[in-house]
Homo-oligomer: A and B are copies of this chain.
């Protein structure tokens, strides 16, 4: 049972872009990072509930599909769940509507005390005020032998990497230079130690790099 982390970054390692505007709250830079992933058939099916069968089916889609396979529980930060964007909404249930794509228990790391939220498709958000190790122990319990995914955002991802808790890191590197935002690799010197690192290039130009123990 592996702990997995998947991220989209730029050539200069930016994992959380800055430069958001009111018109484009994620920012144009975010679009550049995720455009190949968002174009995959898997993303369209699993996240957009688009059953047309459209979308790319090449290397990017293979990684997108693997992203959803075999995950028994997920851990994410408060920002990724949406608490920072909607701090005053006591009824906030995440960004994903009535069918969140997780279909498994999701631990949200936050100091807010909320009762769990359950969805018909198997997604269940549970709120914890713990560090990475304790959250991972709880996620392993919930995963029932399947993998645990670190969902993000950038801060949580870097915390788990720095703590040495990630068994498989996959980064999709978009062939763009952003020059601003939070960089993934800072303070992760010699991250490659203890991992085997392999890479392949997708039709889109995205370079997929995998660190596996």
Contacts and interface: CB of A to CB of B under 8 A. Distances in A.
A192 B183 CA distance: 18
Interface in A112-144: none
Copies of this chain per assembly: 2
SS of A interface (majority): loop
A141 B178 CA distance: 35
Interface in A34-79: none
Interface stretch (A89-97, A148-156, A197-205): A197-205
A160 interface: no
Interface residues on A, range: 20 to 34
Nearest to A188: B177
A180 B207 CA distance: 23
B201 A189 contact: no
Contacts of A209: 11, 175, 207
Interface in A150-178: 175-178
Contact of A12 (B178, B185, B201): B185
27 contacts: A11-B13, A11-B185, A11-B209, A12-B13, A12-B186, A12-B188, A175-B197, A175-B199, A175-B209, A176-B192, A177-B189, A177-B191, A177-B192, A178-B189, A179-B185, A179-B188, A179-B189, A179-B190, A180-B189, A197-B205, A198-B205, A199-B201, A199-B205, A199-B207, A201-B207, A207-B207, A207-B209
